[in-house]
Each structure stands twice: as structure tokens, then as C-alpha cells.
């Protein structure tokens, strides 16, 4: 429970103070879906998600080996999230992915 509260506090702090700055480079779900079949776009999304997950994981107990899905699996999880939440963005999708992996 403490983990989820900490994640929520961190997430809310980014929303309140750095919405315009903290999300620079954060793709909208509309953009992700529009360009999902372009290899460079896929790699950009994967790199963004990897960076986010790495940053959120710093200072915490590492994920169990074998629990972290592959790069492609994470990418398609983001695609599915965006299809279900087209008005969202990669930051929210990545936050939800982190919570899913951390279960």
C-alpha cells in the first residue's frame, strides 16, 4: 500500500508543478496510435517507457527476474492502453504499466 501511495504522490507532483515541462517529449495516445506502424515511432515509445520505468525504479527493490515483460510486450501493452484511453498520454500509460508490473 505504501508503494502505491508513494507512486501516486510522485505522479501528482509532476502533474501539479511540471505539467508543461515534466511531460516534454510525452507523446499523446493519439500520436502513438497514429504512428504505431512506423519503426522509428515504436522505438521512440519503447525508449520513453524504458526511461520512465528506470527512473521510477531507482532506489526501490528491483523487480523480480522474469517479472518484467520484454520490450515488445511493454510496447504492445502501451498500444492497448492507448486504444482503451485515446485521450491519455504515454506518461499515464507508463505509470499504469509500472503499477501492473509491480503487483
The string of pLDDT tens digits covering residues 23-53 is 556 789 999 999 999 999 999 999 999 999 8
Answer yes or no: is 15 within a domain.
Answer: no
Answer yes or no: is 83 within a domain.
Answer: yes
98: which DSSP letter?
Answer: H
Answer yes or no: is 46 within a domain.
Answer: yes
Considering the chain, what percentage of its residues have pLDDT values greater than 70?
76
Q: pLDDT tens across 60-78, in order?
A: 888 777 788 899 999 999 9
Answer yes or no: is 13 within a domain.
Answer: no
Handedness of CA 65, 66, 70, 75 (dihedral sign): negative
Structural domains counted in the chain: 1
User: What mean pLDDT is reported for the chain?
Assistant: 81
User: How far apart (Å, rounded) are the C-alpha atoms in residues 33 and 102?
Assistant: 25
For the chain, how are helix, strand and coil distributed in percent, rounded to 5?
70, 0, 25
Range of the domain at 41: 26-102
* pTM of the predicted protein model: 0.72
Amino acid at each position: 500500500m505504501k508503494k502505491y501511495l508513494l507512486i501516486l504522490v510522485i505522479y501528482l507532483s509532476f502533474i501539479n508543478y511540471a505539467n508543461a515541462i515534466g511531460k516534454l517529449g510525452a507523446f499523446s495516445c493519439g500520436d502513438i496510435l497514429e504512428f504505431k506502424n512506423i519503426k522509428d515511432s515504436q522505438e521512440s515509445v519503447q525508449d520513453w517507457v524504458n526511461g520512465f520505468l528506470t527512473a521510477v525504479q531507482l532506489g526501490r527493490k528491483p523487480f523480480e527476474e522474469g517479472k518484467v515483460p520484454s520490450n515488445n510486450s511493454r510496447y504492445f501493452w502501451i498500444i492497448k492502453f492507448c486504444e482503451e484511453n485515446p485521450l491519455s498520454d504515454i506518461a499515464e500509460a507508463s505509470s499504469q504499466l509500472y503499477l501492473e508490473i509491480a503487483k
